[in-house]
């Protein structure tokens, strides 16, 4: 069974859980602007305005332009394949009349970009087509459906993520062995690119800041590319990087300390910062399980770090990872307006999250780690090998 088939089979159960009768994915000229969820369910794009319908009772229907018929026939996904030449209006209204759904879930969301794949233009076209019937008043957001589709990882999806993590960790080992004081952030990043390219792998996100490398004290934020700043003895540097294997991502961060001449271990301030982050991650990990909310997990790490005398980290504790490094859905985060309802969504088994707090040492730089975990039936398991000791460069 393909990964696409695995995801399609999840849909009726998810619709039943949520009490939603019908889910409609609307596509048009997918090569220009595709709905992110289409890759999960369909695996190919549509040219004309097209409607992919999944029902609570398990029916799967596609209504596509006539020139797309053969392509969707070959996919063998849909029980019914309808085509049109002039206008889809009559057949779309007929299909909805057959099902008569009380709710029609559409891919719009104010909280999750992964569930916001319906463009405003396509939405207006849909409204126009349905203006003569009752159905335009029955729209609801498909945000919860898509969160579950993306979040509930199969065994094969988990295995692909594990492989991506393992490769990233191996490249980190190469970084530790080869990097020396005086290298620039750009040179460190180039080594990561070189090792990834040897394996023929894609980056998990844009290569201009994958990896991100941050050396010593600086005010640059987390989502920016490496610079000509050099790695100096007595300072830390950290790296945020990931690779993609079979379409699935890793997203990890590690911290190194650059020893001064005659120094054999980092100073106490660095060790306290490193141990604080290490313990915060473990405390958050120990609290993970299905049913808890991300705000609860974020609070555990945030309060622990503050209790050790450090400032608040300026972002969520962790996000889901899958086909994208930031995969949408439930978030391990605080109650900030920017995160909407995502920190309040209960966690589910087989979701994959990062845990990534950070703290700032004014004289040495940012200390951070980012681990990856899977939610299990009664807790969580490590997918990455947690960094137990700060990496040393001499």
CB 175 within 8 A of CB 211: no
Q: Say whether pLDDT at 1 is over 90.
A: no
Q: Nearest Cα to 393, choosing from 130, 252, 183? A: 183
What is the average per-residue pLDDT within 66-72? Answer: 92
Q: Are residues 67 and 208 in the same domain?
A: no
Q: Are residues 64 and 123 in the same domain?
A: yes
Q: Are residues 158 and 291 in the same domain?
A: yes
What is the average per-residue pLDDT within 349-371? Answer: 97
Query: What does the chain come to in residues?
Result: 394
Q: Nearest Cα to 293, choosing from 256, 333, 253? A: 333
pLDDT digits 0-9 by tens, 307-318: 999 999 999 999
Q: Are residues 305 and 378 in the same domain?
A: yes
pLDDT digits 0-9 by tens, 173-199: 999 999 999 999 999 999 999 999 999
Q: What's the domain range around 219?
A: 152-393
Q: Say whether pLDDT at 218 is over 90.
A: no
Q: Are residues 70 and 188 in the same domain?
A: no
Q: Are residues 368 and 232 in the same domain?
A: yes
pLDDT digits 0-9 by tens, 291-334: 999 999 999 999 999 999 999 999 999 999 999 999 989 999 99
pLDDT digits 0-9 by tens, 5-54: 999 999 999 999 999 999 999 999 999 999 999 988 998 889 999 999 99
Residue 133: what pLDDT? 87
Cα 164 from Cα 127, distance rounded (Å): 42
Domain count, the chain: 2
Question: Of 118, 150, 182, which one is at a domain's C-terminal end?
Answer: 150
CATH assignment at residue 104: 3.40.350.10
Cα 193 from Cα 269, distance rounded (Å): 32
Which residues make beta-bridge pairs with 237? Answer: 215, 256
Going by DSSP bridges, is the β-strand pair 352-355/371-375 parallel, antiparallel, or unpaired? antiparallel
Q: Are residues 98 and 212 in the same domain?
A: no
Q: Are residues 381 and 286 in the same domain?
A: yes
Q: How close are the terminal C-alpha atoms of the chain, in Å?
A: 50
Q: Say whether pLDDT at 220 is over 80.
A: no
Q: Are residues 75 and 165 in the same domain?
A: no
Question: Of 150, 180, 211, which one is at a domain's C-terminal end?
Answer: 150
Question: Of 95, 123, 150, which one is at a domain's C-terminal end?
Answer: 150
Q: Say whether pLDDT at 221 is over 70.
A: no
Q: Are residues 286 and 195 in the same domain?
A: yes
pLDDT digits 0-9 by tens, 258-282: 999 999 999 999 999 999 999 999 9
């Amino acid at each position: 069974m393909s990964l696409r088939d695995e995801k399609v089979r999840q849909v009726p159960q998810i619709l039943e859980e949520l009490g939603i009768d019908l889910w409609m994915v609307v596509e048009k000229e997918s090569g220009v602007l595709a709905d992110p969820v289409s890759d999960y369910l369909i695996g190919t794009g549509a040219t004309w305005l097209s409607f992919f319908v999944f029902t609570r009772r398990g029916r799967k229907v596609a209504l596509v332009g006539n020139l797309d018929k053969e392509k969707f026939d070959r996919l063998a996904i849909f029980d019914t394949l309808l085509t049109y030449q002039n206008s889809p209006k009559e057949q779309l209204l007929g299909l909805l009349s057959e099902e008569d759904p009380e709710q029609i879930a559409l891919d719009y969301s104010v909280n999750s970009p992964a569930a916001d794949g319906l463009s405003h233009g396509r939405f207006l076209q849909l409204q126009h087509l349905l203006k003569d019937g009752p159905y335009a008043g029955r729209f609801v957001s498909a945000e919860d459906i898509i969160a579950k589709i993306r979040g509930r990882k199969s065994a094969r999806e988990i295995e692909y993520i594990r492989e991506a993590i393992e490769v990233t960790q191996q490249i980190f080992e190469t970084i530790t062995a080869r990097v020396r004081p005086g290298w620039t952030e750009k040179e460190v990043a180039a080594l990561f690119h070189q090792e990834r390219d040897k394996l023929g792998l894609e980056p998990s996100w844009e290569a201009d800041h994958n990896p991100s490398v941050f050396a010593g004290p600086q005010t640059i934020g987390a989502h920016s590319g490496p610079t000509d700043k050099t790695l100096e003895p007595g300072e830390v540097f950290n790296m945020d990087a990931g690779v993609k294997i079979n379409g699935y991502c890793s997203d990890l961060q590690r911290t190194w300390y650059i020893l001064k001449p005659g120094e054999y271990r980092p100073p106490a301030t660095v060790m306290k910062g490193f141990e604080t982050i290490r313990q915060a991650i473990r405390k958050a990990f120990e609290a993970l399980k299905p049913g808890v909310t991300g705000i609860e997990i974020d609070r555990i790490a945030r309060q622990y770090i503050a209790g050790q005398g450090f400032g608040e980290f300026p972002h969520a504790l962790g996000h889901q990872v899958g086909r994208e490094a930031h995969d949408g859905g439930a978030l391990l985060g605080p109650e900030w307006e920017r995160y909407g309802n995502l920190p309040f969504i209960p966690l589910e088994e087989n979701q994959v999250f990062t845990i990534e707090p950070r703290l700032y040492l004014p004289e040495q730089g940012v200390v951070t780690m980012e681990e990856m975990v899977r939610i299990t039936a009664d807790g969580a398991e490590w997918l990455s090998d947690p960094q137990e000791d700060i990496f040393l460069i001499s």
